């Protein structure tokens, strides 16, 4: 897959924030449509509320989604048939 293959695709994103000791601090989910993607600037999504979020350019973090309904835990929103899933774990440093 190339970065440009993501443009126009709908992506369901899951972020997990963990402490230096691997304790889950927070989880966040959102869905958006890819408006730009490249190896330097990352993958920019336009969310349904009109805001934008940018993800790192790592294509290995994007996997094709199986057809079906996905419920966002935080909002209860149901996302039907996204094109891709992308999950990330963000680790806080020991001094944070």
Number of CB atoms found within 10 A of residue 24's CB: 10
- pTM listed for this prediction: 0.87
* Structural domain count of the chain: 1
DSSP 12-64: EEEEEEE-TT--EEEEEEEEEEEEEEETTTEEEEEETTS-EEEE-S-GGGEEE
Is 60 exceeded by the pLDDT of residue 96?
Answer: no
Q: Specify if 52 maps to a domain.
A: yes
Higher pLDDT, 56 or 92: 56
Residue 57 structural domain: 3-91
CB distance 48 to 33 below 8 Å = no
Residue range 22-77, pLDDT digits in tens: 899 999 999 999 999 999 999 999 998 899 999 999 999 999 999 999 999 888 89
Q: Specify if 38 maps to a domain.
A: yes
pLDDT at residue 74 in the model? 80
């Amino acid at each position: 897959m190339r970065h440009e293959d993501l443009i126009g695709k709908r992506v369901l994103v899951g972020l997990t924030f963990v402490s230096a000791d691997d304790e889950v601090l927070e989880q966040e989910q959102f869905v958006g449509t890819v408006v730009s993607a490249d190896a330097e600037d990352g993958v920019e999504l336009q969310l349904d509320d009109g805001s934008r979020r940018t993800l790192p350019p790592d294509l290995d973090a994007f996997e094709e989604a199986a057809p079906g309904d996905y419920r966002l835990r935080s909002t209860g929103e149901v996302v039907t048939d996204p094109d891709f899933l992308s999950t990330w774990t963000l680790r806080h440093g020991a001094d944070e």
